[in-house]
Structure formats: C-alpha cells, structure tokens
A and B are shown apart, each in its own frame.
Chain A
Amino acid sequence: MIEMHDVYKVYPNGVKALNGINTKIDQGEFVYVVGPSGAGKSTFIKLMYREEKPTHGVILINGVNVKRVRDWKIPYLRRNIGVVFQDYKLLPNMTAYENVAFAMEAVEAPRRKIRRRVQEVLELVGLYDRMNALPSQLSGGEQQRVSIARAMVNNPNFVIADEPTGNLDPENSWDIMYLLEEINSRGTTVVMATHNREIVNTMRKRVIAVEQGVIVRDEQGGEYGYED
C-alpha cells in the first residue's frame, strides 16, 4: 500500500512540483497518473521509489516512512519496487538475458535461481527466443518488454512505470499494456504515468489526474480527460 499525506515538493531551483498531495493506493490496484506536461506526474512517480525526497509531508510504502529511510537502506526499499522507463534503460553491452539477470545478481540471488527465474520471466514477456540478443538487435517494443521482465524478476510488490509506451507505436504499446495487466492480475500494484489517451480510455482503470502539483481528479474506471 502506498499512502501520501500532504506531500509537497520544491526543487532546489525553486520549482514547485507538488503542492499538497493526498492519496492512497491499495495493494493490487492498477492506477494511471495523467496530466499535462510539467504538472508533476514524474515527481509524483519519483517520490514513490525514493529517487526524490518530499520537501514536506509523509509517504508511507507498506507502512514505512520513505523520508526517514537512511540512504544506505534505500537499496533494500527498492527491492520491493520494479521501475520501468520510457527509454528502457537497458545496458547496451549486455544481452536481454544478462540485463534481466543483472537485477537478480544485484540483490545477490543464488545463481541457480537466477537462471530459472530469468528464463521464466523472459518466457512470460515473449522473448525466450531472443534472450541472447543485444538491445541494439531488438525493436523498441522488445526492449521495453526486456525492461518489464527486469522490473518484475525480483517479484516486487509494486511496479512503477513512467511513460512506458511513450516511444512505442500503438501495436507495441498494447503489447506492453497487456503485460502490465498480466503482472497486475498476479497481485502486483501497478502505477503508470502516461500521455496515451487511447490506452487510458480503453482500459478503464483508476485515473489520478495531476495539474499544477495537486490532484484534480481521482476516479475508478476513469477517462484520460485531456485533449492533447
């Protein structure tokens, strides 16, 4: 469960990104975060995996106050959160298999378990046959599927995605959405910031709209609600 109480974020350069956010996301929910560019969506997402600290307010992840977590303990917090980005953030000189295995090696999982689990998730994202390919040999959609495989390989409670379909054509975008829905159906909370109206309006999940650093709309089965 993710809770935010009266959260403000002011960046050192004076930009006020968030101005009093209050919300609660339950375990197993699927949430879209929408809003115009510069509304604070990315900051909202970054606070959840502790890339940024709130200037004011409390963020609880499974009851833990994220602001109070000491720097050296942040890695342990992150093991519970899978992150997916618009630009995939894959390591260019590692194969698909190695990129996914890397996330398990980093948390010191046993070697045998790594091999079994990595093959399992690559099969799930439909890239079992391409596991020895380098990112440069994969299409954008395939690269994003590798990054989703990496995000879920450690069985996190949360998967947080920042515009995961931003660089993809509609067909590939839908592949990604089906995957995230599949992950969500297994009990993982998914929070996704997006600009994709078609996807939001078709999937009909909970929608949180952020404008000028505050939540202006929060509805179940909501619509995208903006004209791009």
Chain B
Amino acid sequence: MKIETMFRHFKEAFKSLVRNNWMTFAAVSAVSVTLLIFGIFLVFAFNINYMASELDKQVSIRASLNAQIDADQIDQIQAQLKKNPQVKEVNFVSKQQGLQMMKEQWGDDKEFLEGLEKDNPLPDILEIQAKDPQQTEALAKEIRKSYPNQVDQVDHGEGVSDRLLNLSAWVRNMVLVFGLGLAVLAAFLISNTIKLTIFARRREIEIMRLVGASNWFIRWPFFIEGAVIGMLGAIVPVTVVLLGYNAVVSILDADKAYSFFKLLGMWPLSLYVAGLTTMLGILIGVWGSLISIRRFLRT
C-alpha cells in the first residue's frame, strides 16, 4: 500500500471521528466506563497476587533444635539443609533472639517475660523456607525423618499455610475468569457502538464498493477509528485509577496501623496498568470495528 493511501486512511478516520463527534463521544465513553472497571480490577488483581506471593514467602518451617546438641552440630545441619535442592533459605534463630522477638511482639505486655533471660525456656530454632511454597509440608516431613534425634519438633503452621496457599490459588483463578468475562463484555459494548458509526456511514461504504474500492481500502479507516476510540477511551480510566490508587497508598502509608496490609508501590504498577488498559482498549476497539464492518462488506 502506498504511503499516500495510508495518509488518506488516517485523515479519513480522524475526519469521521470529528464529523460524528457525538457518536465518537458515546463510543469513547463506553470504552472509558468498561476500561475503568477493568483498571480498578487490574489494580486489585496485581495487589492480591502480590499479597498472596508475600504470604507464600512467610510460610516457613520452624525446626526446634534439641537442647543437647552443640554449635558444631547445628552448623552441620544448617549446611546439609542448604544443600537440599528443595530449600531456599535457612536461618538460625537462637533462643536469645527468639525471646527478643517475642518481647517486641508483645510490646506493652513484655513485663510478663521479664526474668526469663536467666532460664530461657525457648529452644534454638532453624527457620527453613521451601523453594516451592506448595512443597512446604513435604519438606517438613523430610526434615522430621532425617533428624529424629537433633530436632525435637517441626512446625510449619499446618492448617494456616495450607489454607493461605489454597486461597491465593483460588484468588488467581477468580481474577482470570472474572477478567476474561469483563473483557468480552467490554468488547461487545464497543463493537455495538462502533456499529452505530458504521451504520451512519453505510452509504459511503456502498458507494466505495460501487466505484471499485477494495475491501481493505474500505476497512482501514474504520480499523484506525476503532484503535483511536480505544486509545482515547483509556485516558480517563488510567488517570482516575492511578490517581485514586496513589491516594489510597498514601493514606494507608500514613496510618501505620495497616502496615501488615502491604500494597504494591506506584512504580512499576502504574506502567502495567496504563499499558494493559490502553492495549485492551485498542484491541477491543479494532476488534469491534472489524466485526461491525464485516456485514457491510458482504457481496
């Protein structure tokens, strides 16, 4: 195709967008509304995924060491575990450190713990993280079996971690299904709106066909129109979603009480949201216009 022709297609597309300004406005609004829902949804999806992976990280095995074994043996076990391909990380937490952490957690009630330093009832602990969080339970069993004498108790927050892992998988599936459904709904809405613009111009198409314009020559301006509508439709929702998210993040950041409720930072999330939302807008715009014009090109 000649550059001159492409230039003409762009000119025609923009002329038609301006000429059918109300129709354009309606189509862009329809895209905006659906993309706004999509954008909000996307932010939620990213954050739920982020939180789930954070929770996955926190699921660790705590192996209480027998008080009889000495530092050399501890080092030895630690080295062996580090070689295990299933293991991601091993941390030694001494009983002094353990008590310190407990005091921090208890905060104002820490006087209950006073005097325990002398006769610390806590065991030394090895904190082990599995490479694959799903394998935590299997790894815990393995450790129990391998060190029956050195390790008194292996604890991996059984029920809790399992439930967390299930929840995060469930949330991911929900995100996928709901997201797909929403995208289809948006595409349907947009294709209907673009059908209106094409309907308003069916005479033009009829004449183009009569004077011998090829099908692609007829399609191109509508193709571009759809893409531009999609792009324009993405501007408002991207702005609203990012500004809104920014506000939410700064409120939660200011109020430390919610610090366990860790949200993703603005960067690079804003890039993903803007990119994905705009891309989806263009995609459904183009798809919608191609679907709608199909029936006008039948001979």
Q: Interface on A for B, CB 8 Å cutoff?
A: 49-50, 71-72, 74-79, 81, 83, 89, 91, 93, 102-103, 105-108, 110-111, 150, 154
Contact = CB atoms under 8 A, between A and B. Distances in A.
B235 to A, nearest CB: 28
Contacts of B210: 49, 78, 83, 89
A76 B217 CA distance: 12
B208 interface: yes
A107 B213 contact: yes
B211 interface: yes
Contact of A102 (B5, B207, B209, B298): B207
B212 A79 contact: yes
B212 A76 contact: yes
Interface residues of B, number: 21
Contacts of B213: 75, 106-107
A79 to B, nearest CB: 4
A78 B212 contact: yes
Q: Is the interface of B mostly helix, strand, loop or mixed?
A: helix
Given A71-B299, A93-B19, A106-B217, A78 B204 contact: no
A74 B299 contact: yes
Interface of B: 1-2, 4-5, 8, 19, 203-204, 206-215, 217, 298-299
A72 B211 contact: no
A106 B4 contact: no
A72 B299 CA distance: 9
Given A79-B212, A89-B203, A106-B213, 13 more contacts: A71-B298, A71-B299, A72-B215, A75-B212, A81-B212, A83-B210, A91-B207, A102-B207, A102-B211, A105-B8, A106-B208, A107-B213, A108-B217
A103 B211 contact: yes
A74 B2 CA distance: 21
Contact of A110 (B1, B4, B206): B4
Nearest to B201: A91
A50 B210 CA distance: 10
Q: Which of A50, A106, A107 has the most CB of B within 10 A?
A: A106
25 contacts: A49-B210, A50-B299, A74-B299, A75-B209, A75-B213, A75-B214, A76-B212, A77-B212, A78-B210, A79-B212, A83-B210, A102-B207, A102-B211, A103-B212, A106-B211, A106-B213, A107-B212, A107-B213, A108-B1, A108-B2, A108-B4, A108-B217, A110-B4, A154-B211, A154-B212
A107 B211 contact: yes
Contacts of B208: 102, 106
A95 B299 CA distance: 28
Contacts of A71: 298-299
Top-7 shortest CB links A-B: A106-B213, A79-B212, A78-B212, A103-B211, A75-B212, A75-B214, A71-B299
A83 B208 CA distance: 12
Given A89-B206, A91-B207, A93-B19, A111 B4 contact: yes
A75 B214 CA distance: 5
A91 B209 contact: no
B209 to A, nearest CB: 7
Nearest to B5: A108
Contacts of A150: 211
Contacts of A154: 211-212
